[in-house]
Amino acid sequence: MTTFVRVCGLGELEEDTPKRVELDGTPVSVVRTEGEVFAIHDICSHANVSLSEGEVEDCQIECWLHGSAFDLRTGKPSGLPATRPVPVYPVKIEGDDVLVSLNQES
């Protein structure tokens, strides 16, 4: 059974501005872009830095340190230096509540 946890209100998310939250000690970046809300692991797979400090464009989040970008839907990197994906997590919207589950999407 998938357990969802409220992480913030929909109104707290600015378009294309990542918001860092922690769920059970796991850093997660929550992003509202292109009419959807995504949740992606907040640590770059190339360097141990927070993705939520990067920029969002074309449904990707860019690591501010070396420029690797990750698809918000799949977690896959779109270019070097990152070669490994980062986990993405299921998101549900209930009213104004944004809920995230740490169960990874397949």
Q: What is the pLDDT of residue 29?
A: 98
Q: Is the pLDDT of residue 39 over 60?
A: yes
Rounded to an integer, what is the distance from CA 69 to the centroid of its chain?
Answer: 12
CB of 13 within 8 A of CB of 28?
no
Q: Is the pLDDT of residue 67 over 70?
A: yes
Strands (E) in the chain, as ranges, are 5-9, 19-23, 26-33, 36-41, 56-57, 60-62, 69-71, 88-89, 91-94, 97-100
